[in-house]
């Protein structure tokens, strides 16, 4: 059996203690996020896994079956830490402090044989550096998952359908209208048309930074779907620069009712529903009559 595996097995307790000390000594470790017992359990498991993996003699390729349990434990820890809001430093320190612990024990044991010590240290460092790469990879993956989930949440909340008046819905769209977003917008809108029995929907795109052919296509689709439901769609909030771009791009929106502002779209909607907006006497305010 090779020296590292032997060391991990025979000196497990000593390594674990020293590792735990290293971890806890790191002032940045947040004990509000993980308990000492939990940390000890994880660390114990990892050393055992590492002892088993290294006993195969393979000390450099961690993408082999014998390292699977180790990589799994590490990935698990990194993903969990990413979700819990640990910093990359805290997560990376986990493996890096094990490197320190093993090195210390190696130094004690082979202090009389510098050549052996040197060789074993190099091997250990290489192996643990590889493992720390795994930590970073999965940590980032964990963070990306969080971001994706947040994106979904933002998509959901940023497409409200507003009942502006009886029979009139308004849908302010803010941000980029990609395929996934369009799906949500369309679903919300059609559902609300059914629920409220509305006959007019205003899609306001003041908050859409650019209208390229994909966005235009999505808008056209939404309008067609609305029409199939027996309602009419008005697109408002077409800014001057967007209008020019649409023309150069060659997109034909002539079949769609468009307005520059939400106010003028509302006005159109009111007149389509035979609602009149007029000023009342002495400028005391506005009144709406039907």
Partner 1 sequence: MILKKTRRSLMIVMTKDTMQIVREQDVVPFRNRVRELSTKIGMSLVNQTKLITAASELVRNMLKYANGGKVMLETVSKNAQSGIRLIFMDQGPGITNVQQAMQDGFSTGKSLGLGLPGAKRLVNEFDINSIPGEGTTVTIIHWKHGR
Interface contacts to partner 1, rule CB under 8 A: 176, 178-179, 209-214, 216-217, 240-242, 244-245, 248-251
Nearer to ligand ATP, 179 or 255 (CB): 179
Pick between residue 194 and residue 214 the one whose CB is nearest to ligand ATP. Answer: 214
Question: Do residues 135 and 74 lie in contact, with contact meaning Cβ atoms separated by under 8 Å?
Answer: yes
Compute CA 66 distance to the chain's CA centroid, rounded to the nearest angstrom. Answer: 32
Residue 221 touches ligand ATP, criterion: CB under 6 A: no
Which residue's CB is nearer to partner 1, number 151 or number 264?
151
User: Other CB atoms closer than 10 Å to residue 99's CB: what's the count?
Assistant: 19
Helix, strand, coil percentages in the chain from 3-state DSSP, rounded to 5:
65, 10, 25
Distance in angstroms (rounded) separating the CA atoms of residues 199 and 214 = 26
Query: What whole-number distance in Å separates Cα of residue 15 and Cα of residue 285?
Result: 79
Smallest gap, in angstroms, from Cβ of residue 120 to ligand ATP?
53
Nearest-angstrom CA–CA distance, 194 and 229:
8
Minimal distance in Å, beta carbon 255 to partner 1? 14
d(CA 102, CA 108): 10
Residue 36 touches ligand ATP, criterion: CB under 6 A: no
Is residue 178 a contact point for ligand ATP (CB under 6 A)?
no
- Looking at beta carbons only, is 239 or 273 nearer to partner 1? 239
Q: How far is the CB of 219 from partner 1 (least distance, A)?
A: 12
216 binds, among partner 1, ligand ATP, none (CB under 5 to 8 A by kind): partner 1
Contact 277, 267 (CB under 8 A): yes
Q: How far is the CB of 214 from ligand ATP (least distance, A)?
A: 6
Residue 216, C-beta contacts closer than 8 angstroms, at least 6 positions apart: 246, 249, 251, 253
Residue 94, number of CB atoms within 10 A of its CB: 26
Judged by beta carbon, residue 127 or residue 223, the one nearer ligand ATP is 223
Nearest residue to ligand ATP, scored by beta-carbon proximity: 213
| Nearest CB to ligand ATP, comparing residues 161 and 223 | 223
Interface positions, 184-213, toward ligand ATP (CB under 6 A): 213
Between the two ends of the chain, the Cα-to-Cα distance in Å is 91
Residue 290 interacting partner from ligand ATP, partner 1, none (CB closer than 5 to 8 Å by kind): none
Binding status of residue 244 toward ligand ATP by CB under 6 A: no
Q: Minimal distance in Å, beta carbon 151 to partner 1?
A: 8
Q: Are strands 257-258 and 276-279 parallel, antiparallel or unpaired?
A: unpaired
Q: Which does 209 bind (CB under 5 to 8 A by kind): ligand ATP, partner 1, none?
A: partner 1
49 vs 142 by CB, closer to partner 1 = 142
Q: Partners of 170 in the beta sheet?
A: 162, 202
What are the residues binding ligand ATP (CB under 6 A)? 213-214
């Amino acid at each position: 059996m090779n020296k590292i595996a032997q060391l991990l097995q025979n000196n497990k307790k000593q390594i674990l203690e020293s590792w735990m000390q290293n971890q806890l000594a790191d002032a940045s470790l947040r004990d509000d996020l993980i308990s000492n017992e939990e940390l000890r359990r994880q660390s114990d498991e990892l050393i055992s896994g590492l002892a088993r993996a290294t006993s195969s003699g393979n000390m450099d390729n961690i993408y082999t079956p014998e390292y699977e349990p180790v990589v799994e434990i590490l990935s698990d820890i990194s993903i969990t830490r990413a979700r819990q809001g640990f910093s990359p430093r805290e997560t990376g320190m986990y493996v890096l402090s094990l490197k320190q612990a093993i090195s210390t024990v190696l130094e004690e044991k082979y202090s009389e044989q510098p050549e052996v010590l040197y060789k074993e240290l190099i091997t250990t460092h290489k192996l643990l550096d590889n493992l720390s790469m795994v930590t970073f990879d999965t940590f980032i993956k964990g963070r990306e998952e969080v971001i994706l989930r947040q994106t979904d949440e933002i998509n959901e909340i940023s497409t409200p359908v507003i009942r502006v008046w009886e029979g009139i819905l308004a849908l302010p769209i803010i941000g980029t209208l990609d395929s996934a977003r369009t799906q949500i917008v369309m679903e919300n809108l059609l559902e609300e048309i059914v629920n409220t029995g509305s006959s007019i929907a205003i899609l306001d795109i003041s908050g859409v930074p650019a209208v390229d052919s994909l966005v235009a296509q999505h808008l056209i689709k939404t309008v067609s779907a609305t029409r199939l439901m027996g309602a009419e769609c008005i697109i408002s909030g077409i800014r001057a620069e967007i209008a020019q771009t649409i023309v150069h791009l060659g997109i034909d929106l002539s079949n769609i009712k468009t307005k520059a502002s939400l106010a003028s779209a509302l006005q159109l909607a009111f007149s389509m529903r035979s609602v009149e907006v007029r000023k009342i006497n002495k400028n005391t305010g506005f009144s709406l009559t039907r």
